[in-house]
Structure 1
Amino acid sequence: MKKFISWNIDSINAALTSESARAVLSRNVLETIKAENPDLVAIQETKLPATGPSKKHIDELEKYFAGYHIEWVSSMPPARKGYAGTMILYKEGMEAKKSCPRIGAPDTMDDEGRLLTLEFDDFYFVNVYTPNAGDGLKRLKERQEWDIRYANYLSGLDQIKPVIACGDFNVAHEEIDLANPAGNHMSPGFTDEEREGFTNLLSKGFVDTFRYIHGDVKDVYSWWAQRVKTSKINNSGWRIDYFLVSDRIKDKVVSSGMLDSGERQDHTPLSLEIEI
């Protein structure tokens, strides 16, 4: 059995090198992840430069993940510096082939380090940081195109071998996936267009492992707004982070859920255990 963890860290540099109260909470989350002894950790929104993690970053990461390989992809010109970015750490002894696919996404999305894939003997593992539709839905059209192309990319991999895909998908799929659906139908992450994009993805042969295991359980979320101080206290959250698997391996899923990130708002890590 393998255990995988996925977390939007919202800046590796801030988490590892800052002494702010938030950084301390981030390092507490890293300790929680370390205690899980995962086989693989997928990280989104690394916000690292094009050259990737520095020696200091790697040294700090090894305090939590000694004996892990590190693969990464960062935002590159012409995309913004220090933007988006993804990383995967996986245990030594696991053999994988890395790819940073370009899916023909619009704008600079293919240059933002949003997609990192590892090919193992029996499956593909895909880490994604899906573009946000943005304030005023200014990037919604581009986001819709991304969703189509990403779904087609996963479907193509699935024709070769089973897929495990995780990350921050920036969409609450159904009304039970956020605390206040009525007031958010025009909010980024809960528009009809984004929800349809996720439905289309699942229809290509993938399963939302959390719903597969837990059914229609409510009030379980993966993200709470930082700007609202009481969002986590009141559990006014959204479930926008996912572990998906190819439909044909869904019965191999043992558990799928969230880890406790304590007082830290923003994203909480996800955990998947699967017989693979």
Structure 2
Amino acid sequence: MKKFVSWNVNGIRSCLGKGFLDYFFSTDADIFCLQETKLQEGQHDIELPDYHQYWNYAQKKGYSGTALFSKEKPVRVTFGIAPFIEDAEGRVITAEYPAYFLVCVYTPNSQRELLRLDYRMKWDDAFRAYILSLEAMKPVFVCGDLNVAHKEIDLKNPKSNVRNAGFTQEERDKFSLFLDAGFTDSFRHLYPHVIDRYSWWSYMANARAKNIGWRIDYWLTSNRYADKIHDSLIDDHIPGSDHAPVALLLDL
């Protein structure tokens, strides 16, 4: 059994002060991925015995960023998705293992008034093309904050969020294209009708206590590995960020 964990920590330095290490070591994950680390090289010294650490930093200070921690040393690790699209925001880490690729991604937010929707559309097309280029070589697992709630079941108030970032028809259609290209949403694969399970809550209006949330953090698998999904978890009881960690258990 393999255990993979992904978590948008919304600033790793802040999360470290809110129990991050306790949760990290309790999971005993084979691979643990982070999004929105919000730091630069030299701003951290996190000791994680038995794990190889890989960090991708945004050029802009205190913004974006990803990290990947792995017990097994990958065959190769790459950062970004060039030449499909240039990325100065530290949004992607790809780890290659003998039997598969694992990709950690922090997808760009379309922002208020959809100011970045056009870029988001280009990003989604480029990222899908990149993943398919990997899939042509070996199976791929994708994790991270994908900044989209795919179906109405994936957020508390779909009707009032139709033209808000993360639930536009454009973003949802791009996600559908990704799945149609040969990938499985591991949580919905196992729990197609489960409601009120979310991975992100606004800090406003006591949203988390009221469970007014969105499911925007995912583990996606190549379809050829869908039958090996043992469980897909949302650890929504874990504090430390406005996102919950999400985990994938695989019979490998």
Which residue in the other structure is 1:196 paired with?
173
Please give the alpha-carbon distance, in whole angstroms, between the structure 1 residues aligned to 2:203 and 2:84: 29
Please give the alpha-carbon distance, in whole angstroms, between the structure 2 residues aligned to 1:248 and 1:150: 20
Paired residues for 1:1-276 under 5 Å: 1-16=1-16, 23-24=17-18, 27=19, 29-49=20-40, 52-54=41-43, 57-58=44-45, 61-62=46-47, 65-76=48-59, 80-91=60-71, 93-104=72-83, 110-228=87-205, 230-264=206-240, 266-276=242-252
Aligned length: 252
Please give the alpha-carbon distance, in whole angstroms, between the structure 1 residues aligned to 2:132 and 2:67: 22
| 1:259 alignment partner AA | D
- Partner SS, residue 160 of structure 2: coil
> 5+ unaligned residues in a row in structure 2: which ranges?
none
Shift of 1:104: 4.9
| 1:255 alignment partner AA | D
Q: How many percent identity over aligned positions?
A: 40
Please give the alpha-carbon distance, in whole angstroms, between the structure 2 residues aligned to 1:153 and 1:163: 11
| 1:45 alignment partner AA | E
Shift of 1:265: 5.5
- Alpha-carbon deviations, 1:161-203, whole Å to 9, x = none? 0000000000000000000001000111000010011011111
Please give the alpha-carbon distance, in whole angstroms, between the structure 1 residues aligned to 2:110 and 2:151: 17
- Partner SS, residue 215 of structure 2: coil
CA contact (8 A) 1:128 1:166 kept: yes
Please give the alpha-carbon distance, in whole angstroms, between the structure 2 residues aligned to 1:153 and 1:38: 26
Please give the alpha-carbon distance, in whole angstroms, between the structure 2 residues aligned to 1:94 and 1:140: 37
Please give the alpha-carbon distance, in whole angstroms, between the structure 2 residues aligned to 1:221 and 1:30: 23
| 1:8 alignment partner AA | N
RMSD of equivalent CA atoms: 1.6
Q: TM-score, normalised by structure 2?
A: 0.95
C-alpha change, 1:265 and 1:97, in structure 2 (3 Å) is closer
